[in-house]
């Protein structure tokens, strides 16, 4: 009997372990590519690589847009920014690329107290909250010092320089939240990075989600980069101080990102940002700000100048770098944001003004040199030819991209989108007749057509990114020109769809984001 109970106890223990929820409280959902750092008391912290997708050149930068005007108004005005990496490693395609590491999960109570109160074991997987920005900085500093003293060999290296932990900038945070370089441009522009129901990925307010309570990390599905809970659950501190235009203007409190478990589903988005005061009145005195809905996750970064060799390389490549196109805030219509033809006009006007000043000076002379006056006349004629050439090129480009957008959406509408309802009716009939082989075949056909639509809609959206670079007047003329072409061709269906294309172009020009889901729905209901 005693032997029986021993066997029963062993079997019970085997079956009990998977259900205790503490088999690995620090990495409940392991994936290939996880980067793990140790912590005191046997704890650990897991990170995910965020590749930039621009190669390993010293000045490799990724240009992208932050913000979402349709959701956040002027506080989230779409703005062109750039991001770089801290370490070089081969990406999933085997190509050398810059990356930074971001916490796979929000920092949990167990991790926080392993640093702040070592020796007091805590197994909580809930994200730590009710701490201030200064508390988070203290945690990061103490953790860095512990790593340097105990596990410096485990830190990633930029050349021979070890990385270090810090809060992410809001630019790093949004790039990771949107899916980084792992998603296409249309998917990156979505309000959140998920194709299926949001409730499967993030905790927000409502009975189908958080029920108004914070949840353990890692319970739901991750985003494309295998990062968990980056939206919702708790909002996350960043290392950035709030500026209305992201990186210019006066600075305020620090920026928190992502929303939390009390945020409405409709408000949860990758661009969501909020200014949090560093201090606030509490119990009759000023105290560092804490909130029950505010936590953080960390990134691993590195210093830039790691050696004399690096310094010389950066110095030698600087002249070529500064000649390249530089981005400026889209919130400010500076000259570098203007369409090419407008920038050319500005430069030609500048040159003309210089020539006019030169002519004025020459005319003050008793006998202006005729040769100089002739050359000035030739230059003016050259400017006119340049203007005409640039405007012709712009007109042709606008027409080409208008045509690409229109023909793409017509193919989606007339081919795959109209076929799917027919296929679904055939699927239903086949299921009723019990034709298993035919059911599988039709399902594959529907799946392929849905994939075709998704890829084509992404191409459709990319056409608007090109049209936005062209002056609106030229684009408007291209729509008229293409409509005339369709009229001569005798294509009434395409003419009707052209009005929808023009509407979507106006939507993109206003919001500077591809709203693929909305456009697809409007096309389905057209």
Q: What pLDDT does residue 501 have?
A: 94
| 3-class SS shares of the chain: helix, strand, coil, % to 5 | 50, 15, 35
Q: Are 52 and 81 in contact (CB under 8 A)?
A: no
DSSP conformational letter for 232: B
51 touches 181 (CB < 8 A): yes
And the tokens for 467? 């049209």
Residues 6+ apart with CB under 8 A from 453: 412, 416, 417, 520
Q: Which residue in the block uniquely carries the two structure tokens 């990724």?
A: 62
For residue 370, the model assigns a pLDDT of 66
Q: Which residues contact 357 (CB under 8 A, 6 or more apart)?
A: none
Give the integer Cα–Cα distance in Å for 84 and 304: 11
Contacts with 41 (C-beta within 8 Å, 6 or more apart), sequence order: 114, 118, 119, 121
Please tell me the distance from the alpha carbon of residue 271 to that of residue 175, in angstroms, as a whole number. Answer: 10
| Cα–Cα distance for residue pair 156/37, rounded to 1 Å | 10
Give the span between the Cα atoms of 76 and 80, in whole angstroms: 12
Q: Which residues of 248-273 are buried (b: 16+ CB within 10 A; e: fewer)?
A: eeeeebbbbbbbbbbbebeebbbbbb
Domain with CATH 3.90.1580.10 in the chain: 34-318
Q: Where are the alpha helices (DSSP H) in 156-250?
A: 170-177, 185-188
60: Cβ contacts below 8 Å, ≥ 6 apart: 52, 54, 84, 85, 97, 98
Alpha carbon distance 194, 514 (integer Å)? 15
Q: What single string gives the DSSP state of each residue in 341-364?
A: HHHHHHHHHHHHHHHHHHHHHHHT
Residues counted in the chain:
526
Q: How many CA atoms are closer than 13 Å to the CA of 31, on its beta-carbon side?
A: 18
CA neighbor of 144 nearest in space, from 323, 300, 1, 259: 300
DSSP state of 43: -
CB 97 within 8 A of CB 221: no
Of 180, 417, 133, 169, give the one whose Cα is nearest residue 294.
Answer: 133
Task: List phi, psi (to 5°) of 329.
Answer: -55, 130
Predicted confidence at residue 22, as pLDDT, reads 45
- pLDDT tens for the chain, residues 1 to 526: 443 334 333 333 333 333 334 469 999 999 999 999 999 999 999 999 999 999 999 999 999 999 998 888 999 999 989 999 999 999 988 899 999 999 999 999 999 999 999 988 889 999 999 999 999 999 999 999 999 999 999 999 998 899 999 999 999 999 999 999 999 888 899 998 887 789 999 999 999 999 999 999 999 999 999 999 999 999 999 999 999 999 888 999 999 999 999 999 999 999 999 999 999 998 889 999 999 999 999 999 999 999 899 999 999 999 888 877 555 554 443 334 545 555 455 455 655 666 566 666 667 767 766 666 666 666 666 656 666 777 788 888 999 999 999 999 998 888 888 888 888 888 888 888 888 888 889 899 888 988 888 888 888 999 999 998 898 999 999 999 999 999 998 999 899 999 999 999 999 998 889 999 899 999 988 8
Task: Write out the two tokens for 85.
Answer: 């990496």
Cα gap 54→362, rounded to integer Å: 51
pLDDT for position 347: 55
The CATH class given to the 34-318 domain equals alpha beta
**3-state helix/strand/coil string of 201-215:** CCECCCCCCCCCCCC
Phi, psi of 68 (to 5 degrees): -155, 100
Token pair, residue 390, equals 């640039």
DSSP codes joined into one string, 51-66? E-SS-S-TT--EEEEE
Q: Are 68 and 174 in contact (CB under 8 A)?
A: no
- Beta-ladder partners of 232: 203
Roughly how many angstroms between the first and final C-alpha of the chain, as a whole number? 75
- Angstrom distance (rounded) from CA 65 to CA 82: 8
């Amino acid at each position: 009997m005693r032997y029986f109970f021993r066997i029963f106890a062993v079997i019970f223990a085997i079956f009990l372990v998977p259900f205790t929820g503490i088999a690995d409280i620090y990495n409940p959902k392991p994936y290939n590519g996880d980067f793990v750092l140790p912590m005191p008391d046997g704890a650990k912290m897991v990170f995910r690589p965020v590749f930039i997708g621009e190669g390993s050149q010293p000045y490799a930068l990724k240009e992208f847009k932050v913000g979402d005007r349709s959701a956040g108004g002027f506080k989230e005005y779409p703005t062109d920014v750039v991001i770089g990496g801290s370490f070089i490693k081969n990406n999933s395609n085997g190509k050398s690329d810059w990356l930074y590491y971001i916490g796979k999960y929000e920092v949990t109570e167990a991790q926080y107290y392993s640093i702040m109160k070592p020796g007091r074991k805590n197994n909580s997987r809930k994200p730590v909250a009710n701490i201030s920005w200064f508390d988070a900085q203290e945690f990061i500093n103490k953790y860095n010092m512990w790593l340097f003293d105990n596990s410096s060999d485990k830190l990633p290296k930029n050349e021979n320089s070890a990385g270090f932990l810090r809060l992410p900038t809001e630019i790093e945070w949004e790039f990771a939240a949107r899916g980084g370089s792992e998603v296409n441009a249309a998917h990156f522009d979505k309000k959140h990075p998920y194709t299926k129901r949001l409730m499967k990925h993030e905790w927000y307010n409502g009975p189908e989600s958080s029920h108004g309570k914070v949840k353990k990390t890692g319970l739901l599905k991750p985003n494309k980069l295998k990062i968990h809970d980056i939206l919702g659950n708790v909002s996350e501190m960043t290392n950035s101080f709030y500026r209305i235009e992201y990186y210019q203007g006066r600075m305020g409190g620090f920026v928190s990102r992502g929303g939390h478990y009390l945020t409405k589903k409709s408000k949860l988005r990758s661009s969501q940002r909020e200014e949090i005061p560093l201090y606030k009145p509490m119990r009759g005195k000023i105290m560092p700000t804490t909130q029950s809905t505010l936590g953080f996750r960390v990134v691993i970064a590195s210093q830039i100048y790691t050696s004399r060799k690096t310094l010389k390389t950066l110095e030698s490549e600087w002249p070529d770098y500064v000649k390249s196109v530089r981005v400026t805030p889209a919130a400010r219509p500076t000259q570098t944001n203007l369409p090419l033809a407008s920038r050319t006009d500005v430069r030609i006007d500048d040159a003309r003004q210089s020539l006019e000043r030169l002519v004025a000076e020459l005319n003050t002379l008793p006998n202006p040199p005729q040769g100089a006056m002739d050359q000035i006349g030739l230059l003016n004629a050259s400017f006119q030819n340049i203007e005409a050439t640039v405007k012709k090129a712009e007109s042709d480009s606008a027409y080409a991209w208008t045509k690409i957008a229109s023909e793409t959406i017509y193919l989606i509408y007339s081919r795959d989108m109209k076929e799917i309802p027919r296929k679904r009716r055939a699927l239903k009939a086949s299921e009723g007749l019990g034709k298993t082989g035919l059911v599988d075949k039709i399902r594959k056909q529907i799946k392929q057509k849905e994939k075709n639509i998704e890829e084509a809609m992404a191409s459709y959206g990319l056409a608007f990114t090109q049209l936005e670079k062209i002056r609106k007047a030229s684009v408007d003329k291209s729509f008229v020109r293409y409509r005339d072409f369709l009229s001569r061709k005798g294509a009434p269906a395409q003419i009707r769809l052209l009005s929808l294309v023009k509407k979507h172009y106006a939507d993109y020009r206003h919001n500077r984001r591809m709203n693929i889901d909305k456009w697809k729905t409007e096309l389905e209901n057209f």
